[in-house]
Chain A
Amino acid sequence: MNDDLLICRCQEITKAEIEEAIRRNDLRLMREVKRQTRAGMGLCQAKTCGHLVMGILAAESGQAPSEVEPDTSRPPVRAVPVRVLANRVADDDRD
């Protein structure tokens, strides 16, 4: 049901695409789903679809949702201009 529903709104990945990737490749980890489908790799960095993908993965792979290992969170949480990071480095150098 709702196979053409967009799960990852940023990368425009549907429920069917995610389920198909999980079944075809016997995926069990969030980072496997991410690398196979690109779900969660867009601008919002899985803030919208992360828990939905986890639910689909749990159902498709027969794991309890609590057993699914979450993907690794890596800062920065928001897109940050390189200039901001560069200024920070320059400030540190002056100290």
Chain B
Amino acid sequence: MRIEMHPILGEAQWGPKVTLMVDGKAVDAFEGEPIATALLAAGRRVFRHTTKRDEPRGVFCALGRCTDCVMVVDGRPNVRTCVTAARDGMVIETQRGLGHWGTEQILGEKGEQGHA
């Protein structure tokens, strides 16, 4: 569910439809909306599992402060999905603990998009 009509911000303005690959599955998104918005709209609540207790976590503050919603985005761990814009073809993975770096990031083949 997305807010289509906001009492203060007015009618929602959505970018073109794009597709995110989330844990190997295609998820619809609008370009430029927060990744977390697309995941919540697709019915997903768990974005990562914690380091010590392996507990599920998802959106908590939803404004980029608490870092509870971080996932591995295009091989980069600890990306705050609530303040990172969705782009077509983004590869997003559930983060386990501290996460891991994808090889493409270590080799530097991708740009700086998507980080804090």
Residues of chain A whose beta carbon lies under 8 Å from any beta carbon of chain B: 9-12, 42-44, 47-48, 78-81, 83-84
- Residues of chain B touching chain A, judged by Cβ–Cβ distance below 8 Å, are 50-53, 55, 57, 60-61, 65-68, 70, 78, 108, 112, 115-116
B55 proximity list for chain A (CB < 8 A): 12
The answer to whether residues A80 and B116 also contact, given A43-B70, A44-B66 and a CB cut-off of 8 A, is yes
Set of chain A residues within 8 Å of B51, measured between Cβ atoms:
12
B65 touches A48 (CB 8 A): yes
| Contact status A43-B60, CB under 8 Å | no
Listed from nearest, the 9 A-B pairs whose CB atoms lie closest are A43-B67, A44-B67, A12-B52, A78-B116, A48-B66, A47-B65, A44-B66, A79-B116, A12-B53
Chain B residues contacting A48 (CB-CB under 8 Å) are 60-61, 65-66
Bound complex: CA A79 to CA B98 (Å): 13
Q: A11-B52, A79-B116 are in contact. List 10 more A-B contacts (CB 8 A).
A: A9-B57, A9-B66, A12-B52, A12-B53, A42-B67, A44-B67, A47-B65, A48-B60, A81-B112, A81-B115
Q: A6 to nearest B CB, angstroms?
A: 9
13 contacts between A and B (CB under 8 A): A9-B60, A9-B68, A10-B67, A12-B55, A42-B67, A43-B70, A44-B65, A44-B66, A48-B66, A78-B116, A79-B78, A81-B115, A83-B112
B78 contacts across to A, CB distance below 8 A:
43, 79
A80–B112 alpha-carbon span in the complex (Å): 11
* B115 closest partner in A (C-beta): A81
Tell me whether B61 and A12 are in contact (CB under 8 A). Answer: no
